[in-house]
Amino acid sequence: MDVIVGGGIVGLSIAWRLARSGRPVTVVDPAPASGASYAAAGMLAPVSEVTYTETPLLRLGMASLRRWPSFAAELAEDAGLTGNAGLTRNSGPTGDAEPTGDAGSPHGGLGAIGDGARLGLDLRADGTLDVAFGADDLATLDELATYMEKLGLPVERLTGRECRRLEPMLAPSVRGGLLAPEDAWVDPRRVTAALLAALDRLHVPLVRARAAGLLRDRDGSVAGGSVAGDRVVGGRVVGVRLEPPPGGPEPPSEIRAERVVLAAGAWSGELAEVPVRPIKGQIMRLRSPQPLLSRCVRGTVHGSYVYLVPRGDGELVVGATQEELGFDTRVTAGGLYELLRDARELVPGVTELEVADVVAGLRPGTPDNVPIIGPSGTPGLDLATGHYRGGVLLAPLTAALMVGDLGGEEGELAALCSPGRFQEIS
Amino acid sequence: MDDLIIAGEKFSSRLIMGTGGAPSLEVLDQALAASGTELTTVAMRRLDPGARGSVLDVLRKRDIKVLPNTAGCFTAGEAVLTARLAREALGTNWVKLEVIADERTLLPDPIETFDAAERLVADGFVVLPYIGDDPALARRLEQAGCAAVMPLGAPIGSGLGIRNPHNIELIVEAAAVPVILDAGIGTASDAALAMELGCDAVLLATAVTRAQRPDLMAAAMKSAVVAGRLARQAGRIPRRRYAEASSPMTP
């Protein structure tokens, strides 16, 4: 049996794909789907997120984006979802999707799926519009566009007026923009809810307890590691030791497993020697009766980044701060101020909206921003962590890597996120 | 090249780095290594010094001295508080004092900066204030006991180079403490110019961290600072209106 430590979008996706392939699996998490996956905006935007030094991340993101349509369709089926809040394209809040028939896209965007899957996950593929204020921001965006074109990415440069024709709620001061037409987005809260439902229907046990340590077999004797001083070094991992939540139902104190998959996000470093650190992000959800935007809008306002992600139900997600404050999840005045200040510059109308939710999550960051996926070097322990800002985007690919279900061209992707690239992981 | 000495401490590199704007810790680490820096400034707001695997760990691993800064502060009060928290957390009494006047230009506020500098010096800090290219303010801060002065070449992150070389020369001429050109560097020639003008060191971040190849730009900056320093020491020839034959009068 496999034990998945961590019930965020990554751990749940792995568990679901394993269970689907007939493998016995158990998920351990004191509060599933409540961490970074709960905070995340759910942008599936490998193109508009490109930065100069991160082409490996781009390749992983593009490969995972291609997997999203079938991942979502199969998930919706397994979770028993029906209804019309599924994949839409330029369809507005009512969810009346129109098939667009651009399935032949060379870059494998989500066009291929048409409206064949009405998924209930609010998966949308209407692209990301990256806009600039002022000449400085535009010059930076132009340089980035040149780089993207050199990489062969599908982007279109737009004038300020063209941007506002696409998104009339944008401020008149928008100078220009860059449209990544194949970028998509999804509602991560709906995805994790669907994953939990699918696991339930597949009778996968979900143990609501904290994994306090890894059980290791050294010279034939099994010892339970503690969180503080006993990280994995040597031996073979044979299970996890559990700490029940105070007052909760009593779960077993340990679970034996043939393989433990560590997918504990920002907390992964507490259980094994992996270079993962928490990077705090504050994010807010606004609600409007009428949708203000029809696609994802990102922007640079005098050098400061903000994004707005519209949902089919009128929700508008505004994010996100990036703070290196350890395991701090306080929502702060300054954090919200900066989000609103920049969001209002981009879309002045946001100040009229109801604040539905503010939350701070912890992204699992790695030294090179690329996730750590694969065998840890310690027998019995696999790693699927360190997804930083890309957990939602990379969940399908991560699950495929862990299940060993890769397409021909994807084989080399495993090497990009191999744990072996870090000396710290023994 | 001769050593840089700040408050009695010696540095063989005259390039001081900042960490802001790097896309990842790995890219930052490679850039710092290529720069050869021995002193690097870190913004203390929104940073937990106790967290594992942070930017501070990157510096510790490379044995680079940490210079905490008060970036993001708008008042002397905030800056003094931030400096004290940094001293407690990092065990250093050095601080790069940065009090900005507004978010748009990020220009330093001279009055708040002076106020904070006075209080921090009195509290035993080694104070390195970030200021405009103002010779009078530089002199006053030196008199107030600052360990160095850090005039800007141009606004933070602008990459506009040194907009008023004449004022930088005036500051250098009058100063008995090190003058560190801080902010505005866009490319290697800007850093070389700062050193040719007589600055003792250059502090930069964005020019490297937001370059398409940060490691290459860091190496370029390292060479530029050395080249500029050597040129300053060598003494440049006077500018002439007309040509002067370099041969064959002398062997």
CA distance A283 to chain B (A): 16
Structure confidence at residue B145 (pLDDT): 96
- pLDDT tens digits along A162-206: 999 999 999 998 999 999 999 999 999 999 999 999 999 999 999
The closest CB to that of B23, out of A53, A303, A324, belongs to A53
A368·B26 Cβ contact <8 A: yes
Look at residue A105 and tell me whether its pLDDT is greater than 70.
no
CB-based contacts of A284, cutoff 8 Å, min separation 6: A317, A318, A319, A336, A339, A340, A355, A357, A358, A359
Task: Give the domain CATH number at A288.
Answer: 3.30.9.10
Look at residue A382 and tell me whether its pLDDT is greater than 80.
yes
Within a domain: B246 = no
Q: Which residues of B touch A (CB under 8 A)?
A: 23-27, 29, 46-48, 50-55, 103-104, 157, 211-214
Within a domain: B56 = yes
A215/A251 same-domain check = yes
Look at residue A121 and tell me whether its pLDDT is greater than 60.
yes
A10/A153 same-domain check = no
Task: Give the domain CATH number at A243.
Answer: 3.50.50.60
CA distance B17 to chain A (A): 19
Cis peptide upstream of residue A69 (ω within 30 degrees of 0): no
Q: Output the CA–CA distances (angstroms, integers) from residue B28 to B45, B50, B167, B190, in the order listed.
A: 19, 19, 32, 21
A173: DSSP letter: T
Size of interface A-B (CB pairs under 8 A): 55
A86 confidence band (pLDDT: 50, 70, 90): very low
Output the six-digit token pair for A266.
């920002």
Number of domains, chain A = 2
Q: Which residue of chain A is at minimal alpha-carbon distance from B105?
A: A302
Q: What residue numbers bound the domain in which A137 lies?
A: 128-180+277-365
Separation of alpha carbons A426 and B1, rounded Å: 42
A209/A349 same-domain check = no
A56 touches chain B (CB under 8 A): no
A218/A281 same-domain check = no
A43/A119 same-domain check = yes
- Picking from A2-6, B10-14, B238-242, which range would have the lowest pLDDT averaged per residue? B238-242
Q: What residue numbers bound the domain in which B35 lies?
A: 4-234
A297/A406 same-domain check = no
Within a domain: B221 = yes
Task: Give the domain CATH number at B167.
Answer: 3.20.20.70
CB-based contacts of A95, cutoff 8 Å, min separation 6: A84, A85, A86, A88, A118, A312
A35/A63 same-domain check = yes
Half-sphere exposure of A101 (CA within 13 A, CB side): 0
Percent of chain A with pLDDT strictly greater than 90: 69
The amino acid that residue B249 corresponds to is M
Q: Rounded mean pLDDT of A216-238? A: 59
A53 touches chain B (CB under 8 A): yes
Long-range contacts of A348-354 (CB under 8 A, 24+ apart): A348/A169, A348/A171, A349/A169, A349/A292, A350/A286, A350/A292, A350/A308, A350/A316, A350/A318, A352/A288, A353/A286, A353/A287, A353/A288, A353/A292, A353/A316, A354/A286, A354/A287, A354/A288
A303·B214 Cβ contact <8 A: no
The C-alpha angle with vertex A82 and arms to A80 and A85, in degrees rounded to 5, equals 130
Does the model's pTM come out above 0.95? no
Output the six-digit token pair for B175.
């100063």
- pLDDT tens digits along B95-130: 999 999 998 889 999 999 999 999 999 999 999 999
Output the six-digit token pair for A206.
């979900």
A176/A244 same-domain check = no
Number of domains, chain B = 1
Separation of alpha carbons A94 and A87, rounded Å: 12
- pLDDT tens digits along B52-91: 788 888 999 999 999 999 998 999 999 999 999 999 988 9
Phi, psi of A29 (to 5 degrees): -165, 130
Q: What is the DSSP string of A352-394?
A: GSEEEEEEEEEEEE-TTS--EEEE-SSTTEEEEE--TT-HHHH
Which residues are bridge partners to B223 per DSSP? none
- Residue B96 is a catalytic residue: yes
- pLDDT tens digits along B164-202: 999 999 999 999 999 999 999 999 999 999 999 999 999
Q: Nearest to residue A282, comparing CAs of A329, A245, A250?
A: A329
Domain-terminating residue out of A315, A339, A365 = A365
Question: Given the structure tokens 């034939």, which residue do they identify?
Answer: A220
The closest CB to that of B53, out of A51, A275, A368, belongs to A275
